Structure 1
Amino acid sequence: MEDAQHTEWRQLLARTRNGPASAEDYNRLIALLNADESGTLQAELDAWLASAEVTSYKHVQPYDRDYWQQAFMDMRAAARRERRSTGRWVRIGWAAAAAILVGISGLLLWPAKQPASENASANVENKQDVPPGTEGAVLTLADGTKLTLDSLNSGWRTLQQGTQVSLEDDRVVYDQAPGAQQTMAYNTMQTPRGRQFQVVLPDGTRAWLNAASSITFPVSFDDRERRIRISGEVYLEVAADARRPFYVQVNELADIAVLGTSFNVHAYPGEAAIRATLLSGRIRVSRTGVQEPVTLLPGQQARVPVAEHTALKVVDVPDVSTVIAWKNGLFNFEGLQLPEVLKQLERWYDIRVEIKGTASGRIFRGKMYRNVNLSDVLEILRKMGVQYNWDGETLTVY
């Protein structure tokens, strides 16, 4: 690489590290990276990612350092795969890595088992588009009152058995005052399809709810233990409290005993197994009513089959960030078949999906933002050769 281009590369990296970097800067970074046949720039990017904190993406919302660091890592991996492509991988031009970082399309990298045919799908032009899901939930109070949180203003407050409940931006916070009543009065937060939300429980535990999920909890925990119930998909960061163990019941099929830890539970009705994935700390997972729990280490996942008399299984998860991609604003389709991908779209866009034909064997790779319209996702499916019809209400895949 010529010295002038190398100097430009380092200046662009410096602006990216220290801010402010622009969309044009990102585009130029990608162009230089793709033109570098020697691998020198990739090596410098590797070193930078390994040694420096990425702290300058605050102009790209939502800001999350780990989120953007992962995006740069994916960008680097995408460039490498393109160079050694054997024809099984394709990169969609309108969604190159620079577009990823500035949020144009959200696509990172997609595979294709076959080229898209000219009549691969019905076009979505002039059909009703669907915006992405957003923050929102329904909170059911102890007296049965239902509150639609996305219709309330930040700063809303109420009292539940002496515990203050407040809406702070896009989360609900329960502040249990010393001496608060410890009668078992329960609240339930439920996210419909097309919504996600956060709640801070009375002990300081934080929970993120994916679409079509719920969590039921007491408005004040007692002095002996903490118990909640969940369904759907929930990520939890449990406040450490050695005196009061934390228990999670999942769909009345699985129980999780927790110390201070962070973990994700995927437990949608109709799926073959409940999946509990540990990110940090320690949890014990068992089938409800069966006294043979397994203890997970970070990076492990327990799978509790819904079918009775089927053994609980523990598997390793090499990259736990893929499990909580939804929490960080991403779809993760890595290794999934088409029906699994469509289930995510059905929940997030609140649409109806029908699968016809034999398209279910297709394997997907890659990630994309969840803040894109349905039409953007359908365009990607079309480029992959997936045949579908979208009538404004039902997505039929052939």
Structure 2
Amino acid sequence: MEALPRIRYPQHEKKRQNFYQTIPSFWHDLFGEPYALYDIKTIGMAEAQRIREVTERIAAIYDKTAPLLRSLPDESMLELGFPEESVPFLRLNPLQNEGVIRRVDLVQTSSGWKHFELNADTPTFIYELFHVNGWAARHFGLEDPNEGCEEALQNAIRQAVRELWDQEQAPKVVFTAHADHEEDWHTAAYLGRLFGYPHEIVPIHELQLKEGDGIYTPAGVKIDVLYRQTYPIEHLVNDRSEDGTAIGIQLLKLVKDERLAILNPLSSFLLQSKAVQALIWGLHENGHSYFSDTEHEWIGQHFLPTYLEKEPFIQKEKAFVEKPAFGREGDTITVFGSDGAPLAENTLKTYSDSLKVYQEYQELPTSAIETPYGKDQAHLLVGSFVIGKKAEAFGIRAGSAITGNEAYFLPAGIRT
């Protein structure tokens, strides 16, 4: 028997639609379901400052780890789950910072803020936190915790393009995404608007690659800087044309030969594998001198024990989570109890063939939320952005115990 459709509360839904429809190019509904809530989570100024402090500590640990990763042999790169096709390009480091836009996922616990994972390569949740959250905070009479962050994002994009292009003539800059994916397309367009200088927004399938030469627009103009904010490298390396040509690898060769620059840079992909967390935890657990005493303290405070095998948790009878090294949006995640039996899992199994990482289970805190279907209890996960090296916009996703694509965007505000 088919499940009955859920009934939306018409008055609440009307308020939600009326409010979010005033925000240009925002996907407050996704795939026919509500995404942005007509509700707000109030936080304190001290808590907002703490989130940013923790975020910068975590980012500093990853940045400290990046040079170590570049020094590893190819075999070790493969052991960390990186696709074999990507290994020749992993050591490229074109910017002074490891990335331009990165998102740290955090959970609030009884012992402080803990770090779930880092999306260093293609983080989503950008437009919501840097732009939309401010609209919601003002609407509900609160202060936007992300006030001023949009300007920092704009400056970072412009600075990255300047670093990548040191010639006198202006570069041909293109922002790209899948045109049929509303969230990705509007995110790319938003970043292009923030960039503010001449550029194009081109659907990814319309880009034209000429092997050994460059990437071109549909009009035949050669692209100098390509911003592929939502297109992951682990997908790109497997891209092939209809005739079987490995166009993804050819694109990366163009980057290596300095015929094309891409953002985020390949150095961001180096930190994308969740197996890097296992490397960091292993160095910490062994008291390795690579990290300073202060850095060890930060890792112990904010990182969760993470390994490339589940035995440490089985032996200690601790609950743990199995994650794919390159998974996204909760896809292919399973939670196991202290007896090693599965407790919960995401029904999506897109990354079943990916290297698995095992992390200590940390339950997400819950909070009451107002949804179009009435009041509900939701698990809260904080996404906190690092722009360059500095923590900027942060915000909340509200969903199930495993945060996935179906989670809501819950705006946050500071009471003045």
**Structure 2 length normalisation: TM-score?**
0.25
**Between Structure 1 and Structure 2, which shows a larger proportion of helix residues?**
2
Whose RCO is larger (CA < 8 A, sep 6+)?
2
Structure label with greater radius of gyration: 1
**Between Structure 1 and Structure 2, which shows a larger proportion of strand residues?**
1
